[in-house]
């Protein structure tokens, strides 16, 4: 079975631009979470979605938004990019109500 | 508020020796506790979790962790370290009530010398 997949793998943007990151969960998983991992730090929780509804939100500005589609895939959008948004963005999926999250390889975003 | 502390930025151990990577947590209610490992340029891989039951949890690759409620700790252990265990290890906690937010520690880099 395929694991969690994310696209693109790498991305370079300039300040002020907008970016969309995509995630496909493991087949059968209905929950997707997004994390930001800045170099040298642990992942920081951004959002969790379950059955297309937001179930959790971390301490990130409104420039960050996400959605989950009927096929349980998800997109993370970041508007008005700042240099500080440069990071590895990780997606994780889990079964409905199941606690173990399985992570994708991440999308590395560089903002210049 | 939930929090996780990994007090050691780095742990060095010789191959064949036992290893311990420390983690303490703070959460309201009963915790769900996790350990993940991250290899260079890779995502996080699940090692083990504690939800309820036996305080000693066994996971992948020979790792285990002991839940200690009184000390609010969940230290990762392995009886005999391998060079291939060298990686970045993250402890994470989630409350079992009130939402789905999972908090990760800052990570501990493990170096195993041959």
What the block records as the tokens of B16 is 């064949």
The reported pLDDT for the residue numbered B1 is 76
The reported pLDDT for the residue numbered A1 is 60
> Is the model more confident about A24 or about B2?
A24
Partner A contacted by B102 (CB < 8 A): yes
Alpha-carbon gap, residue B4 to B2, rounded angstroms: 7
Q: Which of A56, A102, A103 sits opposite B99 (nearest CB)?
A: A56
Q: What is the pLDDT of residues A57-103, one digit of tens each?
A: 889 999 999 999 999 999 999 999 999 999 999 999 998 756 789 99
| Contacts for A71 with CB less than 8 Å, ≥ 6 apart | none
Which chain A residues are Cβ-neighbours of B33 within 8 angstroms? none
Q: What is the pLDDT of residues A43-56, one digit of tens each?
A: 999 999 998 899 88
Partner A contacted by B67 (CB < 8 A): no
β-pairing verdict for A53-57 and A44-50: antiparallel
Partner B contacted by A100 (CB < 8 A): yes
pLDDT score of A29 more than 70? yes
Q: What is the pLDDT of residues A30-42, one digit of tens each?
A: 999 999 999 889 9
Q: What is the pLDDT of residues B63-112, one digit of tens each?
A: 999 999 999 999 999 999 999 999 999 999 987 665 678 899 999 999 99
The reported pLDDT for the residue numbered B27 is 86
Partner B contacted by A15 (CB < 8 A): no
Q: What is the pLDDT of residues B4-59, one digit of tens each?
A: 999 999 999 999 999 999 999 998 888 899 999 998 877 899 999 998 888 999 99
* Counts for chain A of helices (H) and strands (E), in that order: 0, 11
């Amino acid at each position: 079975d395929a694991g969690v997949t994310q696209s693109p793998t790498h991305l370079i943007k300039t300040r002020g631009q907008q970016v969309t990151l995509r995630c496909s969960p493991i087949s059968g998983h209905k929950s997707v979470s997004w994390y930001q991992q800045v170099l040298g730090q642990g992942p920081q929780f951004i959002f969790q979605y379950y059955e297309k509804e937001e179930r959790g939100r971390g301490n990130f500005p409104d420039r960050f938004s996400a959605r989950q589609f009927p096929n349980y895939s998800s997109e993370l959008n970041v508007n008005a990019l700042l240099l500080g948004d440069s990071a590895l963005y990780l997606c994780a999926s889990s079964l409905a109500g199941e606690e173990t999250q399985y992570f994708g390889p991440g999308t590395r975003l560089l903002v210049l | 508020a939930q929090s996780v502390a990994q007090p050691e930025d780095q742990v060095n151990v010789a191959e064949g020796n036992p290893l311990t990577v420390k983690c303490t947590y703070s959460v309201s209610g009963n915790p769900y506790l996790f350990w993940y490992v991250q290899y260079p340029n890779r995502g996080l891989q699940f090692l083990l979790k504690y939800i309820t039951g036996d305080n000693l949890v066994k996971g992948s690759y020979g790792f285990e962790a002991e839940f200690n409620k009184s000390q609010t700790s969940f230290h990762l252990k392995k009886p005999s370290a391998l060079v291939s265990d060298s990686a970045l290890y993250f402890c994470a906690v989630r409350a079992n009530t009130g939402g789905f937010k999972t908090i990760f520690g800052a990570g501990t880099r493990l170096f195993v010398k041959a």
